[in-house]
Amino acid sequence: MSENFELALQLLGIGMVTVFTILLLVILIGNTIIKFVNRFIPEAPKVVSSRGRSSGGISSGKMAAIVAAVQMATNGKGRVTSIEKE
Amino acid sequence: MSENFELALQLLGIGMVTVFTILLLVILIGNTIIKFVNRFIPEAPKVVSSRGRSSGGISSGKMAAIVAAVQMATNGKGRVTSIEKE
Amino acid sequence: MSENFELALQLLGIGMVTVFTILLLVILIGNTIIKFVNRFIPEAPKVVSSRGRSSGGISSGKMAAIVAAVQMATNGKGRVTSIEKE
Amino acid sequence: MEILRKLYEMTAFSNLLDNPAPLFMLAVGVLLLYLGIKKQYEPLLLVPIGFGVILANLPGAGMGIVPGDFIELGDNKYMNLFEIAHEYGIMNFLYYSLIKTGLLPPIIFMGVGALTDFGPMLRNLKLSLFGAAAQLGIFTILLIAIAVGFAPNEAGSLAIIGGADGPTAIYTTIILAPHLLGPIAIAAYSYMALVPVIIPLVVRMTCSSKELKINMKEQDKLYPSKNVIKNMKAVKIAFPIVLGIVIAFFVPTSVPLLGMLLFGNLVKEIGANTLRLTDAASGPIMNAATIFLGLTVGATMTSDVFLDLKTIGIIVGGFFAFAISVFGGIFLVKGYNMFAKKKINPLIGATGLSAVPMASRVANEIALKYDTKNHVLQYCMASNISGVIGSAVAAGVLISFLG
Amino acid sequence: MEILRKLYEMTAFSNLLDNPAPLFMLAVGVLLLYLGIKKQYEPLLLVPIGFGVILANLPGAGMGIVPGDFIELGDNKYMNLFEIAHEYGIMNFLYYSLIKTGLLPPIIFMGVGALTDFGPMLRNLKLSLFGAAAQLGIFTILLIAIAVGFAPNEAGSLAIIGGADGPTAIYTTIILAPHLLGPIAIAAYSYMALVPVIIPLVVRMTCSSKELKINMKEQDKLYPSKNVIKNMKAVKIAFPIVLGIVIAFFVPTSVPLLGMLLFGNLVKEIGANTLRLTDAASGPIMNAATIFLGLTVGATMTSDVFLDLKTIGIIVGGFFAFAISVFGGIFLVKGYNMFAKKKINPLIGATGLSAVPMASRVANEIALKYDTKNHVLQYCMASNISGVIGSAVAAGVLISFLG
Amino acid sequence: MEILRKLYEMTAFSNLLDNPAPLFMLAVGVLLLYLGIKKQYEPLLLVPIGFGVILANLPGAGMGIVPGDFIELGDNKYMNLFEIAHEYGIMNFLYYSLIKTGLLPPIIFMGVGALTDFGPMLRNLKLSLFGAAAQLGIFTILLIAIAVGFAPNEAGSLAIIGGADGPTAIYTTIILAPHLLGPIAIAAYSYMALVPVIIPLVVRMTCSSKELKINMKEQDKLYPSKNVIKNMKAVKIAFPIVLGIVIAFFVPTSVPLLGMLLFGNLVKEIGANTLRLTDAASGPIMNAATIFLGLTVGATMTSDVFLDLKTIGIIVGGFFAFAISVFGGIFLVKGYNMFAKKKINPLIGATGLSAVPMASRVANEIALKYDTKNHVLQYCMASNISGVIGSAVAAGVLISFLG
Ligand code: NA
Ligand code: NA
Ligand code: NA
């Protein structure tokens, strides 16, 4: 039992040290990548391809216009399930 | 063979009795639940949560407006299944 | 080694002969089916059920109109993936 | 010449010369595809099954399911799945991991549950009883099949066709008589597709025009029911939970099927909070399961399995199982109507068979033919859905006694 | 009479007379369903788990998970999956192929990754540190559990509840103490659902109103950060790749979890070109995994497993693990604020716990209660997401030393 | 100090000191990610493969695929999947259940079939022949590889890269030379991504400007074809069924690939009645299969597998297999044009390679460069799709003789 307790004490130390080390590394890595990217590839690619699926980034005004257009063109029988950006 | 036939005869009895018992229980359980619910939780929850998916981030006001527009334009035959925002 | 090489030479022959045989068969089968269908079931079923979902039953003219509307509204960045009828 | 001989050996023509029976099976496969595609008989199942039959009977392709004893090592030990794949290919790998383990039918039932609405049944609970009567075909055909000489386990598998429920028939057969899986699955789905023929046939033979004109809605007005459901959502959530537990006490062997059905249904009724699960259960999981179930069940139909007198027995017996089940439901309605003031349309008995929802649609059309204002669909759905429970319970009984 | 005796034998009532404990477990299952459905405690998990508990405890249904030694043959040999299905049914087949192999938690983590946005964390990298401090509950409870008499492996499983992350807790328990899987999974998800209770509780006990009014945006204006991210997309793509490699050098045992999380995230950040993979990972794969994880984890909770003093230890210990983790995060903020000019709101420490994103929402509400203009959500998300990494790392440490 | 030593032991640094080769493999993984993400080379495959390479080479993480003989027990017995998971972790579990069994490539082919339209091919059936000629690279490289010293089975795996079809290459390699799976899959997908470079290169070396200006539509007007397809839907439904059966008689070993391709296609062409199956096959099933195929194939690339002279042979040989296949198609067109009045644009030969549909798009762009009105896309698609059949048949031949 006391042997196990010693193990637990050690793990308290090892564990917290490791977790802090890793999250310090997260900070370090994050900052390094940001600096690297800022210096070498500061421009975002032109084509937005973030999510692509369904009406991502399409303003609701435009959406309404589209929906209205669809309604008109289909005599109200169609519906827009999704509009994708390329 | 005649032994198997006897088994089959028994199963005809056991089977139909069991099936009727269970479906009588279905009726009993159903009625009990209905009575219980009618007495103790007669009100449906306020929030309609029928399908819920998508439309995340689109305000319910806007959503309602869109749905209404579609309804009007389609004589109630169209429906908006999803409008997604990023 | 030379035994393997002989095998490889044989396979060059067998392989190309087989591939040509199969693709000649593809042509033969295709033409036979076309002739058979043209003779015995020349009419397409009335209901178009190609994909069924998406844009099923919406005429391509209307579809084009919708697509154009979407193009306009989204500066060419959106596209209509599907329009469903009820 | 050497090269031509090698070419010939690569092909399947020598196999065909040795044993031309697969050619017949290929025709059976094409016939099933024809029924599924052109006749639109349960295409979701008959197309994969038909294609599976074809794949299994392409000589030399190694896509046919091998008999269970090929993978038995004796002493209750079996080849492992990796060895099965290695030795007998991907079809056997799929079959022995997904079907022979009994996995896919309950998985499909989970999806069925997520697509089922117990609402019509809850609104007309009394009509559930006809879902019990319409299991008569099962136990009658069991008796006849045994009398005719089928072994009890095979007779049970044949009989369950009368439950008019695909996953139930397949699950029962996996346990009782896996060697008959192909013909039984095909018979079950074919007769389900033939419900628009079978139900009118039995109805015409047993029901008078007057009976078929019984208008349920008018009966409801004449003799209104006392029950009003104030909070349907709560009822629908409690129902699968309580039902699952109670049925399990009586027929524990039905739990893999009914438990999963009711789980799927519960998840659906909860609504938005578990929508991800509902979508998965009724969408990709169920569809993928259907593909692999169909292909592998079809692939069990090698010529030596199919070209057997039992296949004829299954085809004939399956038909009568259906017909007797329909008759059972109708018969109970007739008996009920003799004593009750509030009459019931016998079509509601006929749909106790299950084969949801086609049976109900067919019954509704018949009713409308006799009286254009007599919509019985909602009432039929009550007995129709209860017939699913009925046949799963019947399957549990058969498994308990014959498994 | 004979027929009635057979009928009785088919039912589960004899089993219940022998051992009525399952009835209690059924009540536990119903309680979990109640929590999931009515109280909306993590319904995506608690509903399948609750139903799994019910299925497992239906006597005679054969849906309960059997202990691991039932499938051990000694000499590092195990029954194969087909034999497991054949002998113990589909639930054990699913459990031993999907859970006991350790497969589903990393698969779910892949989906979690595909739904995670590291953006808030990258914009406030420094705050990640609080995701380390908030692992304090794990190691503290480990110490206490061992002191109280838990075996080290069981104590590790119990302790990881303090990571406030379901898949991590389940993965760790599969490796360290699979016999405790049910209670630990339930405790983990229940306390995650109780975060809106636990966080306010600890905050109220430890933070002054003045601290809770610290406005992060104003602090940002007073002491602006130098870092501007010019190309977020590139950063977000590079981040999971580099992070995955570096963490793996330090804690290789965390790779199955963190590697899959970061893979899912990478695929999402690439965007349109891998959208098919993102959709699959975060949709059908994750949802199907959730269903089978929930059902089978629930099915481990047979009465002999649950009705054990350890279960109480897990419930009590799990609560304190959560509370101490929250405290750990807050405590580090307080320490930091003693030395730094740019103050941090202690709520950002509290969310280091993880339980994404509910913890952040709860924290935000608390902040708004003290100052209606103090929106801390984005800041909380930084420590919140880093808490996921923190607990996966902690799990790796526990697995390395106790596995 | 003791605590620091334990900490160090937990990390992977000692492993790295023993064997730094994984660092090189990590760089290979990052390179593949770069090609997939930035260069957009087949990102759906190269991203998972690249990440799989990284996971497999993280020391101590246990995510690398172990050689096949690790799981052989001799006497045609193998470890079971549960034991594999237990001993070697989840990646090996996935690899040995999904890949080594040969399952995923046919599954992906089912999805490919559900996304393929045989319409262009049926409208220009004659052009299918060029899909045969463009398999020349396969058998030529087979000859050369054997001459250079590759074992026949390895040479077959290398050669099939010239089929320009990912699942076919992977399936063939699983059967012939699984130890080369990583490099061959990567070479296959990389060169498919390089089709916009390889096709123009070969075209420029072999075709005159006059040939490239041959306008197919004008040729069609000059020499109209007699065939009109009156009922395309019926033709498209019958075609995969009949084709599947007939090809199987000649090359039964191609059935797992072609059978599943044609099944997927059939289900799609049936339309609405089997839409659920089409959606599942081309959506979640295929996407999930792609993720797991990519990750596990990548994970086979441990340093000892990759750092081998054969890898260079595969990279060089793969390139020439592609180039010779393109040449084969072009060469047959040239021969045909020498005798026929109705001329064919040699680009249609070049696309016989397959790599659908990118090859066709590339060819179309080349044609438009020489004549802005010369749209050859639909014609190219004919030979392009037939090239898929061609390489699956070639794979069948290789498997028959070398498997
Ligand atoms: Na039924
Ligand atoms: Na955490
Ligand atoms: Na090809």
D168-216 pLDDT, tens digit each = 999 999 999 999 999 999 999 999 999 999 999 999 999 999 999 999 9
Q: Hunting for tokens 């007939």 — which residue is that?
A: F246
CA D102 – CA D46 distance, rounded (Å): 20
| CA angle centred on D28, ends D27 and D30, rounded to 5° | 65
**B27 and B54 assigned to the same domain:** no
Q: Report residue C45's pLDDT band, with 50, 70 and 90 as the boundaries.
A: low
Q: What is the pLDDT of residue B46?
A: 55
Q: Would you say D316 and E329 are in contact if contact means Cβ atoms under 8 Å apart?
A: no
Chain C environment of F247 (Cβ under 8 Å): 22, 25
Specify the 3-state DSSP secondary structure of F61. Answer: coil
Q: What is the pLDDT of residue A46?
A: 55
Compute the average pLDDT of residues E16-38.
92
Residues of chain F with pLDDT under 70: 1
- The two tokens of residue E345 are 């709101």
H or E stretch covering E297: helix E286-299
Distance F366 CA to ligand 3 centre (A): 20
Q: Is A61 on the interface with E (CB under 8 A)?
A: no
For the four alpha carbons of F326, F329, F333 and F334, in that order, the dihedral sign comes to: positive
Q: Is E340 on the interface with D (CB under 8 A)?
A: no
Q: Which of B13-22, B73-82, D164-173, F291-300 is predicted with the least confidence, judged by mean pLDDT?
A: B73-82
Q: Hunting for tokens 């790599």 — which residue is that?
A: F355
Q: Among E142, E227, E251, select the one facing A34 at the smallest CB separation.
A: E227
Q: Among A48, A62, A77, select the one facing C73 at the smallest CB separation.
A: A62
Closest C-alpha among B78, F319, F238, E304 to residue A77? B78
Compute the average pLDDT of residues D34-58.
95
Q: Is D7 on the interface with C (CB under 8 A)?
A: yes
Distance (Å) from the alpha carbon of D147 to chain C's nearest alpha carbon: 47
Q: What is the pLDDT of residues E294-327, one digit of tens each?
A: 999 999 999 888 888 899 999 999 999 999 999 9
Q: What is the pLDDT of residue D307?
A: 86
Count CB neighbours of F367 within 10 A.
Answer: 26
Q: Among F235, F390, F401, select the one facing C23 at the smallest CB separation.
A: F390
Q: Is the pLDDT of residue A79 over 80?
A: no
Looking at this predicted complex, what is its ipTM?
0.89
Per-position DSSP letters for E179-245, written without gaps between them: GGHHHHHHHHHHHHHTHHHHHHHHHHHH--HHHHT--HHHHHHHS--S---S-HHHHHHHHHHHHHH
Domain boundaries, given as residue ranges, for chain D: 102-285+295-402
Strands F72-74, D72-74: pairing is unpaired
**Ligand having the closest approach to the CA of D325:** 1
CA F83 – CA E101 distance, rounded (Å): 9
Q: CB distance F393–C25 less than 8 Å?
A: no
Specify the 3-state DSSP secondary structure of E73. Answer: strand
**C8 and C19 assigned to the same domain:** yes
Q: Report residue A62's pLDDT band, with 50, 70 and 90 as the boundaries.
A: very low
Q: Would you say E268 and E113 are in contact if contact means Cβ atoms under 8 Å apart?
A: yes
Count CB neighbours of D272 within 10 A.
Answer: 15
Distance E4 CA to ligand 1 centre (A): 24
Q: Is the pLDDT of residue D73 over 60?
A: yes
Q: What is the pLDDT of residues A20-50, one digit of tens each?
A: 999 999 999 999 999 999 999 987 655 444 3
Q: Would you say D170 and D182 are in contact if contact means Cβ atoms under 8 Å apart?
A: no
Count CB neighbours of F115 within 10 A.
Answer: 16
Q: What is the pLDDT of residue A53?
A: 34
Q: What is the 3-state secondary structure (H, E, C) of C51-69?
A: CCCCCCCCCHHHHHHHHHH
Q: What is the pLDDT of residues E225-276, one digit of tens each?
A: 777 899 999 999 999 999 999 999 999 999 999 999 999 999 999 999 999 9
Q: What is the pLDDT of residue D17?
A: 84
What backbone torsions phi and psi does residue D297 show, to the nearest 5 degrees? -65, -40
Q: What is the pLDDT of residue A50?
A: 38
Q: Among E40, E60, E82, select the one facing D252 at the smallest CB separation.
A: E60
Q: Among C65, C74, C84, select the one facing A73 at the smallest CB separation.
A: C65
H or E stretch covering F72: strand F72-74
CA E98 – CA F100 distance, rounded (Å): 18
Chain F environment of E255 (Cβ under 8 Å): 55, 58, 61-63
**C51 and C28 assigned to the same domain:** no
Q: CB distance E277–F291 less than 8 Å?
A: yes
Count CB neighbours of E365 within 10 A.
Answer: 15
Q: Is the pLDDT of residue D244 over 70?
A: yes
Higher-confidence residue: E340 or A65? Answer: E340
> Between the CA atoms of D176, D177, D182 and D186, what dihedral angle is there, to the nearest 10 degrees?
-50
Q: Report residue E1's pLDDT band, with 50, 70 and 90 as the boundaries.
A: low
* Residue E250 Cα distances to D72, D351, E293, E351, angstroms: 47, 65, 29, 25
Q: What is the 3-state secondary structure (H, E, C) of D286-336?
A: HHHHHHHHHHHHHHCCCHHHHCCHHHHHHHHHHHHHHHHHHHHHHHHHHHH
CA D181 – CA D164 distance, rounded (Å): 15
Q: Is the pLDDT of residue C65 over 70?
A: no
% of residues, chain D, pLDDT over 90 = 87
**C38 and C49 assigned to the same domain:** no
Specify the 3-state DSSP secondary structure of A80. Answer: strand
Q: Is F7 on the interface with E (CB under 8 A)?
A: no
For D122, name the nearest residue in chain B, comparing CA atoms only: B30
Compute the average pLDDT of residues B21-38.
95
Q: Report residue C44's pLDDT band, with 50, 70 and 90 as the boundaries.
A: low
CA C84 – CA D278 distance, rounded (Å): 22
| Neighboring chains of C (3 or more beta-carbon pairs < 8 A) | A, B, D, F
Q: What is the pLDDT of residue B44?
A: 62
Interface test with D, best of C12, C14, C40, C47 (most D CBs within 10 A): C14
Q: Report residue B1's pLDDT band, with 50, 70 and 90 as the boundaries.
A: low
Q: Would you say D55 and D298 are in contact if contact means Cβ atoms under 8 Å apart?
A: yes
Q: What is the pLDDT of residue A45?
A: 56
State the distance between the two ends of chain B, measured CA to CA, in whole angstroms.
70
Q: What is the pLDDT of residue F1?
A: 63
Distance F375 CA to ligand 1 centre (A): 58
Strands E72-74, D77-78: pairing is unpaired
**Ligand having the closest approach to the CA of F172:** 3
Q: What is the pLDDT of residue C46?
A: 55
For A19, name the nearest residue in chain F, comparing CA atoms only: F7
* Residue F274 Cα distances to D46, F104, F107, angstroms: 10, 22, 17
Q: Is the pLDDT of residue B75 over 70?
A: no
Q: Is the pLDDT of residue D33 over 60?
A: yes
* Residue D157 Cα distances to D109, D150, D298, D395, D402, angstroms: 18, 10, 17, 9, 10
**B51 and B31 assigned to the same domain:** no
**B55 and B37 assigned to the same domain:** no
| CA angle centred on F55, ends F53 and F56, rounded to 5° | 65
- Into how many domains does chain A fold? 2
Chain D environment of B22 (Cβ under 8 Å): 132, 247, 250-251, 389-390, 393
Q: How many CA atoms lie within 13 A of D164 on its CB side?
A: 39
For residue F178, cis peptide bond before it (omega within 30 degrees of 0): no
Q: What is the 3-state secondary structure (H, E, C) of F128-145?
A: HHHHHHCCHHHHHHHHHH
Q: What is the pLDDT of residue A65?
A: 45
Q: Which residue range(s) make up the domain with A63?
A: 44-86
For A59, name the nearest residue in chain B, comparing CA atoms only: B85
Closest C-alpha among A18, A22, A20 to residue A30? A22
Q: How many CA atoms lie within 13 A of E340 on its CB side?
A: 14
- The two tokens of residue B21 are 């018992």
Compute the average pLDDT of residues C32-58.
64
Q: Is the pLDDT of residue C60 over 60?
A: no
Strands E77-78, F72-74: pairing is unpaired
Q: What residues 25-44 of chain E have any CB closer than 8 A to a CB of chain D?
A: 26, 30, 33, 36-37, 40, 43-44
Distance (Å) from the alpha carbon of E302 to chain D's nearest alpha carbon: 15
CA E226 – CA E228 distance, rounded (Å): 6
**C55 and C65 assigned to the same domain:** yes
Q: Among A62, A69, A79, select the one facing C84 at the smallest CB separation.
A: A79
Closest C-alpha among F206, F200, F198 to residue F331? F206
Average pLDDT, chain E: 94
For the four alpha carbons of E120, E123, E127 and E132, in that order, the dihedral sign comes to: positive
Q: Is D126 on the interface with B (CB under 8 A)?
A: yes
- Whether B and D touch (3+ CB pairs < 8 Å), yes or no: yes
CA F254 – CA F262 distance, rounded (Å): 12
Q: Hunting for tokens 């789905």 — which residue is that?
A: D189
Q: CB distance A50–B78 less than 8 Å?
A: no
Chain F environment of C43 (Cβ under 8 Å): 230-231
Q: Report residue C83's pLDDT band, with 50, 70 and 90 as the boundaries.
A: very low
From the centroid of its chain, how far is CA D111?
A: 14
Distance D374 CA to ligand 1 centre (A): 25
CA D80 – CA D82 distance, rounded (Å): 6
Chain F environment of E270 (Cβ under 8 Å): 37, 43, 47
Amino acid in position D259: G
Q: What are the beta bridge partners of residue E23? A: none
- The two tokens of residue F318 are 């793969």
For F146, name the nearest residue in chain C, comparing CA atoms only: C5
Compute the average pLDDT of residues E222-226.
82
Distance F29 CA to ligand 1 centre (A): 55
Question: Between B and E, how many residue pairs show a Cβ–Cβ distance under 8 A?
Answer: 11
Distance C18 CA to ligand 3 centre (A): 14
Q: Hunting for tokens 């590092």 — which residue is that?
A: E76
**Ligand having the closest approach to the CA of D191:** 1
Strands (E), B16-86: none
Count CB neighbours of F391 within 10 A.
Answer: 32
